[in-house]
Amino acid sequence: MRAVMISCLLPLMVCCCNSNTNSGCSGMPLIFNFGDSNSDTGGFSAGTGLEADYPYGRAFFHTPTGRASDGRLVIDFLCEHLDTKYLSPYLDSLEPDFTNGVNFAICGACTLPKYIPFNLNIQILQFKRFYKRYSNGVRNLFAKEDFKNALYALDIGQNDLSGSFGAMSYDQVIERIPSFISEIKDAMWAIYEVGGRNFWVHNTGPLGCLPRELAIRSKKLSGIDFDEYGCIKSMNEGAKNFNTKLKHLCEELRSQMDNSTIVYVDTYSIKYDVIANSTSYGFRNPLMACCGYGGGPYNFDSDDDISCLTGGYDTVCEQETPYISWDGTHYTQAANAIFASKILSTHYSSPPLHFNFFCNNASMLANSNTPSMSLR
C-alpha cells in the first residue's frame, strides 16, 4: 500500500516543482552552485574519472550521471521549477552547457582544509577564474550585469561535521564549527566582491539519521544516545549547532552586504520531518539504505569499502519500493522530490521568498525596494 502511495505521490511532487505559476523567470536564469555531493551533478566524476556504476541513476536517467542518487537531486528539481536545464559541472570537458550557470559542487567537499581540492575555497577560486574569463562577454555568454543578477547557491558542511565526529569528541566538534562558518563567510564575501548579490543558503541535514553514521557508530552507543526515531542525538545536536551559527551568519551579512538578498533555507527541518513521519509520506525503513550491504537494520556495512558507492553492495530495494536513503549517505530521488517541494513552498526559508526571486522582474522590483537589512 505504501509503495502505491509513493508511486502516486512522486509525480505530484515533481508536478509541484514544475508547474507553479510563479515559477517562471523573465529571462534565462543564471545559477552558480557550490557544495558537496548533495548537489554535485557530475563534477567529481568529471574531475577524477571515477564514477559509481548502475544502479546509480536508475530512477530517472537510467544510467549513472555522477549524481550520488538513484535519480535527480534537489538542485535538479529546483532547476526544473525554473524551466531551465540541469546545471553542468565546472569540470566537465565533454560538451558542457554553461548558458544557465555552473555547478562547482563536488562529492566529498568540505569547508576545510582550505586548499584541498575540491573544497569550498577551491570552488570559489574556480568561480573567480570563470568570472574573469566570461565577465566581459567572452563568447557572448555573460556580461557583468548577468553575474550581478545571478543566484549563488551554497549547500556545504555535512562532510566537515561527519569527519569531525569520526575523530573528535562532541565538545571538540562544537569548538570547530565556527571555523567552518568562517570559510562560508569568506566564500560569500568573495562572491559579493565580484558583484554577486543573490544568495540561497541551505543548512545541513540531520546527520545522525544517516544509515552510514548509524552503522559506523551505533555499536559504541547506548539507548540514551538515540532519539525517539532512532537517530544519534549528539550528531543531530552538532548539526543544529552548525545551522544556528549559519543562520546568524546570514543575518549578519544581510546588514553588511548592501543591496543583497540572502535566503537561508532550513533543510534540516524538512529532512527530519520526512524521516520522523516517514509512513505519512509513504516511505518504509527510514533509517535503512536502499542500496547497501548486510541487510537490516541499516543495510550499510561499518567498513566503508563495502558499499553501494564502491560497488560492494549485496542488497538493492525494488525500484518501486519507497526508501528515503539511497546508499546510506545520500537520498533517493523520491525523497529529494519531497525535499524540493517543501523548499519551494517558502515555509522553510528566511525571508520567505520564492525561488525565482532573482530572475523574475516583479520579484526583482519588489526586492529592490526592500532594504537588505530588513530581509531576515
Q: Which residue is catalytic, options 36, 327, 349, 363?
A: 327
Q: How far apart are CA 153 and CA 182, in angstroms?
A: 17
Phi-psi region of 83 (alpha: psi -120 to 50; beta: other; left: phi over 0): left
Q: Which residue is catalytic, options 37, 135, 218, 341?
A: 37
Q: How far apart are CA 364 and CA 376, in angstroms?
A: 17
Q: Which residue is catalytic, options 70, 330, 341, 372?
A: 330
Identity of residue 47: G
The answer to whether 246 and 157 have CB atoms below 8 angstroms apart is: yes
Catalytic: 37? yes
Catalytic: 303? no
The phi, psi pair for 350, rounded to 5°, reads -135, 110
Catalytic: 53? no
* DSSP output for 303-359: STTSSTTTT--SEE--TTS--SBSSSSSB-HHHHHHHHHHHHTSTTEES---TTTTT
Cell numbers linked to 300: 550499510
Q: How far apart are CA 297 and CA 261, in angstroms?
A: 43
Q: Is the peptide bond before 118 cis (omega within 30 degrees of 0)?
A: yes
Length of the chain: 376
Q: How far apart are CA 278 and CA 287, in angstroms?
A: 10
Active-site positions? 37, 327, 330
